[in-house]
Structure 1
């Protein structure tokens, strides 16, 4: 049995070098599934993505997906990609196992929580809006931290900076005046302890009503429960805006954050993985 990829249409290439193509996965020329590949619009042409890999039910558990995934990597190498990324729904256990067997590393997770009743903040804790004068220094700190987090996970400075530019432009087009944005500061016993960035609407394709983009507690005040309070503020703001669910992303190496989100009844929905080519 020979498993091959057969393009369903010519390769699509944009002016900025982005590529995309869909293939039939074939066994002895018989179609048994579909594969979709692209480069990453935010990281550039050197980063590839397996957007979709579906094998028809009668041909599953025969190694077809493994061969197709390896063939996909060869295609992406031919495109000049040095890394490939995939996103797997948490319920797709077989796909997660296959990714591990093929040497993919988990980069992060999406998590979601259903919202019902507005929570109450701990005594002496209060939420307030971030001021216009506080915003520039907050933005510089957030952008630097966001860029650094991607560099630490294998991206170049240029790629990480480009992603930061794209994401902050997309999600904060008018700064603190962006209608869909809530920038809140937590004060406790009269002093600022941290801040949170909440986006209202389905900003990350998770079918949620709100999304937490950033939670930051001042280093000297960590370990005192203020991160939990900030997330309760996010729930308050989201419910007040009519949202009934809230999502967020967490990097896989941020064990304390994952523990906090789990304790607040967030559930995992998608896992993001990568592999060097």
Structure 2
């Protein structure tokens, strides 16, 4: 299996955007960051700030993850340029529901490193919710290191 990345189509982006808003809101509720009543509005606000020009927002690469010419997921990668180097941050990486458990996670992360090197990117960062143990384990396995912890206690 070969993983490649293609620019996301407008149609896929529109579907992704609408679905992801609710998913993102739900993740923040599950993590205890937001109240359910405000979650969707908070998600909409953050997405509007991050992607003011949608698919054409500068420095945001919205990509379709492809395996042998079949779409298997999405990757939202922000690339930050500074004087010394380029760094990337994964805002979202997600395999389609019917593609999970097939080894695409490992292949995608390895292909992302090759892609980053070819683009002159020296570091890739990401955020993972603590309750997403499967993703956390994958990132650790792929060599990502924890740089900080946010902790809370419900009282």
Give the TM interval when normalised to the shorter protein: 0.7 to 0.9
Moved over 6 A (4+): none
Q: Which residue of 2 aligns with 1:135?
A: 13
Tell me the TM-score normalized by structure 2: 0.85
Deviation at 1:237, TM superposition (A): 4.2
The alignment of Structure 1 onto Structure 2 pairs a total of residues equal to 150
Are the structure 2 counterparts of residues 171 and 239 from structure 1 closer, same or farther at C-alpha, using a change threshold of 3 Å? farther
Tell me the SS of whatever aligns to 1:127: strand
* 1:181 equivalenced with 2:68 (yes/no): no
* 1:269 equivalenced with 2:147 (yes/no): yes
Cα distance in 2 for partners of 1:184, 1:233 equals 13
The answer to whether the 8 Å contact 2:77/2:88 transfers is yes
Deviation at 1:249, TM superposition (A): 0.7
Uncovered stretches (5+) of structure 1, i.e. residues with no partner: 1-122, 203-207
Q: Larger Cα Rg: Structure 1 or Structure 2?
A: 1
The answer to whether the 8 Å contact 2:55/2:62 transfers is yes
Q: How much is the aligned-residue C-alpha RMSD, in angstroms?
A: 2.1
Cα distance in 2 for partners of 1:125, 1:249 equals 22
Deviation at 1:133, TM superposition (A): 1.9
Question: Looking at both structures, which has the greater relative contact order when contacts are Cα pairs under 8 Å and sequence separation is at least 6?
Answer: 1
The answer to whether the 8 Å contact 1:125/1:188 transfers is yes
Tell me the TM-score normalized by structure 1: 0.50
Tell me the SS of whatever aligns to 1:140: helix
Structure richer in helix, relative to its length: 2
Uncovered stretches (5+) of structure 2, i.e. residues with no partner: none
Equivalent of 1:150 in 23, 28, 53: 28
* 1:225 equivalenced with 2:92 (yes/no): no
Structure richer in strand, relative to its length: 1
